[in-house]
A and B are shown apart, each in its own frame.
Chain A
């Protein structure tokens, strides 16, 4: 345990609540009667309903293929985990209320009105058992992007106050303190000062102007502070003018996973405004999958106009540095397998960059049987890792990942997402597994060719 951990105790290191058979439990927020809750759920769901989502709602042929690739169905064999079934109440509401044949459905009562009770029951399906990994999207013969529909369903659930408690609490804390894990601006400042001292690196904070705005996941700040040091070392080699900003550093966006759009927008705006304030040409997102999804692909849409800077994930930036010859690396003498974070690779499009970096590290890359866009999720995405009651289920899905990694026989497991990393750490402890997930960023920082002073 590092010194900072005693200085800033982490809840994440506390033993997890591990009830063998958790009571079926539905969490609710706010006081309102059922009619209002239902009404809010439906309005929240419909609010951003465009042609694309409607098209998806119309297109399912009930072939069941999506179940066969979803980690939850594959591991449990329970048909309630069929991806498209997770949307059933919302699909029903859509057909009854807004679809092109809605009047027919209503007059003949072909689709019943959804009840709050049903939404409560579906909470487990919409949150605990979907990491929004998007694997089902890749198999669906109708090309339905189920993961994005789960996102819309979560908008409805959040509006109705039907979010699993820990995920909701995580979001509330992030809104209150600026970080879901207590990495407040003051904590960040302390941490940076301590890391600068300890590792004799320069970590610019709150510079007025900079070409690059660096952001960070509070998972890294609190659990993997060595990542910050790695960033500083790499930025020095890149020779770029860069800074962290205490008014816009937190890259995680659990509001997005909870379905709280207001919160999602606020979190993204902080980063966007900070980048504009320093005149950044580039905003670098850290090793965090959903941060990439939130800012790279949804940021501009919530902001309302195209972003006046480019947004890159750190692996993309590393690959650029390697291409430009700024990052010279010593070979890593190991075989490596790479875990593709779903939101960066399958749903983000950054498939090649991390592999380019690994090639530059001279590793023997042993791909998993299904990798890249067809990768299996670590089981902790979509906010699932925060939900305690979902732990037993999460460990079952994690077994797929463990097996995949084992099958490669690679010595090292590398990824580029700190949320995956903490899921791996937790799973490793749970199963007493001998593999630790490494950070691509740190691997690069540790293998920079020593500088001639």
Chain B
């Protein structure tokens, strides 16, 4: 066996396992570390009963900005959506991904044609580049960005790029590119719980909590 296939085997075997374990354990640790803190009961008289329903609602309503805010944020929000949608299509629509997910979780669903996947990956990559340029130039984003923002960006960008390259056999042997693709995706999974990428999980909690607090007061969320 050549070293390249060794690398691929490593990527498919122990590296994947390790990445998944780190991801699951890391997310668990982060969530427990936060949610296990004190949660004092709110003793004020609620205006609205079952405020948690408002919390659940907010998880969805906060997906799109309110009319009053749109003029200043909608354009970049739209770019961000393009990226997120593209990524979701690629991750959940590509047949090899579905097979991998089936192996791990037992769940499976029909895949999408590769033309669609390629298009989605392209959209995702281009919007990611635009978002990077935005982050690097907008004064607010320059002020608040740190290592996490740029490194996380890189770790999302790389698997997308190597995936496309592997699929179209661009710039190297298929096995090498595939191994590279898998390893970079695994790095992404392992990094996720420690970084801003944990928003994939955290968003539901923080939106839900705020939605509940404000609903309890009878305020809009």
A residues near B (Cβ < 8 Å) are 49-52, 54-56, 58-65, 67-69, 73-74, 77, 79-80, 82, 84-85, 88, 99-101, 104, 137-145, 296-301, 303-307, 310-311, 345-351, 369-370, 372-374
Contact = CB atoms under 8 A, between A and B. Distances in A.
A343 to B, nearest CB: 11
Among B58, B145, B210: residue with most chain A CB under 10 A: B210
A51 B44 contact: no
A299 B69 contact: no
Given A100-B29, A142-B203, 7 more contacts: A62-B149, A68-B73, A77-B139, A104-B194, A301-B42, A301-B44, A307-B45
A55 B198 contact: no
A372 B220 contact: yes
B69 A348 contact: no
Contacts of B35: 51, 55
A61 B199 CA distance: 7
A52 B32 contact: no
Interface residues of B, number: 58
A55 B34 contact: yes
Interface string B208-221: 11110110011111
B37 A51 contact: yes
A142 B45 contact: no
Contact of A296 (B44, B69, B211): B44
Top-4 shortest CB links A-B? A100-B33, A349-B218, A143-B207, A349-B217
A61 B68 contact: no
A299 B219 contact: no
Contact of B43 (A84, A101, A305, A311): A305
Contact of A50 (B40, B43, B66, B149): B40
A55 B213 CA distance: 14
B217 A142 contact: no
A324 B33 CA distance: 51
A144 B210 contact: yes
Contact of B138 (A55, A64, A350): A64
A382 to B, nearest CB: 17
Given A51-B36, A306-B45, A65 B206 contact: no
A148 to B, nearest CB: 8
28 contacts: A50-B39, A55-B35, A55-B202, A55-B205, A58-B34, A61-B196, A63-B80, A68-B69, A69-B72, A80-B143, A82-B140, A85-B144, A88-B144, A138-B220, A142-B203, A142-B206, A143-B203, A143-B207, A143-B208, A297-B217, A300-B44, A300-B45, A301-B40, A307-B45, A347-B214, A348-B219, A373-B219, A373-B220
Among A51, A54, A351: residue with most chain B CB under 10 A: A51
A82 B145 CA distance: 12
Contacts of A305: 43
A34 to B, nearest CB: 25
A67 B69 CA distance: 11
Nearest to B65: A139
B102 interface: no
Given A79-B143, A300-B44, A300-B45, A137 B210 contact: yes
Given A55-B35, A62-B149, A142 B219 contact: no
Contact of A67 (B33, B65, B140): B140
B141 interface: yes
B61 to A, nearest CB: 10
Nearest to B30: A100
A50 B68 CA distance: 32
B127 to A, nearest CB: 14
Interface string B58-70: 1000110110110
A370 B66 CA distance: 10
A141 B66 CA distance: 11
Contacts of A373: 219-220
B209 A52 contact: yes
Contacts of A143: 58, 62, 203, 206-211, 221
B50 interface: no
A295 to B, nearest CB: 9
Contacts of A80: 143
Interface in B174-221: 194, 196, 198-199, 202-203, 205-211, 213-214, 217-221
B34 A54 contact: yes
Nearest to A297: B44
A300 B43 contact: yes
B47 interface: yes
Nearest to A347: B219
A304 B80 contact: no
B194 to A, nearest CB: 6
Contacts of B142: 79
B49 to A, nearest CB: 13
Nearest to A300: B43
B43 A59 contact: no
Among A58, A88, A303, A310: residue with most chain B CB under 10 A: A58
